[in-house]
Amino acid sequence: MTRSHIPHGFRLVPILKGSPDALVVILPDAGTAAVALYPVATRWAAAVPTTAFIVLEAIDPLQLASLLHRELRARHLDAGRLVLVGFGQSGTLALRRVLRQGRGWAGVLALDAKPVRPLSPAASVTAKVRLIASGGDGPVDHRGLRDFVALLTSAGIDARGVLLAAPSLSDEAIRHAGAYLVELVATAQRGASFSFARAAE
């Protein structure tokens, strides 16, 4: 796995040679350095070897929008090939961007994010939403996660979630998140396949 530094973090090139067919952008929680997520990113990358990964330091939301656009364009990918992963406050930011701005991303995976209400079913959110809530050292809120997933589903959003007693960077949480990530990347790849099929017609 090759790691290279970028101004706000680092990137991992796909394990398999050639152009990536999806892009995963990982946003650490506030106070967590991007490099601390290197083992997590390399573990997930092994499961989706044709996918490029970027792990960012804490970044202003306006900078994030332009950085995502630039990174997708550099790889000749559209927004439907993007999966955004966020931990804690960054998970809340990722949810907000998807649910309030109707981005056409493949999906968002948020770990320990605060619930963000979608504007309305008319927001046409096509991204899949996958949530992981961890108890960590505090109380476990089963009902909160269940109610939030039900709210998203009632708004027509493909949403699922799991609640774990272990912290968000535990082996158990990373394993569950990895399974969700494989699903979201497969969604991005299917979207790419449909695009190529239509272009060939």
Q: Which residue has the higher pLDDT, 23 or 60?
A: 23
User: In terms of Cα–Cα distance, which of 177, 175, 185 is closest to 160?
Assistant: 177
Distance CA 15, CA 200 (A): 27
DSSP secondary structure letter of residue 142: H
List, for residues 73-107, the tens digit of each pLDDT value: 999 999 999 999 999 999 999 998 888 766 678 99
Going from the C-alpha of 65 to that of each of 17, 93, 107, 147, the distances in angstroms are 27, 11, 16, 29
Tokens matching residue 3: 């790691």
List, for residues 158-188, the tens digit of each pLDDT value: 999 999 988 889 999 999 999 999 999 999 9
CA dihedral 140, 32, 10, 1 (to 10 degrees): -60
Sorted by where each starts, the structural domains of the chain and their CATH numbers stand as 3-117+126-200 (3.40.50.1820)
Spatial contact of 99 and 126, defined as CB atoms under 8 Å apart: no
Q: Which residue has the higher pLDDT, 196 or 108?
A: 108
Q: Give this prediction's pTM.
A: 0.89
Distance CA 201, CA 132 (A): 40
DSSP symbols for 72-135: HHHTT--GGGEEEEEETHHHHHHHHHHHHH----SEEEEESPPP---S-GGG---SEEEEEEE-
Spatial contact of 110 and 133, defined as CB atoms under 8 Å apart: no
List, for residues 187-199, the tens digit of each pLDDT value: 998 865 434 333 3
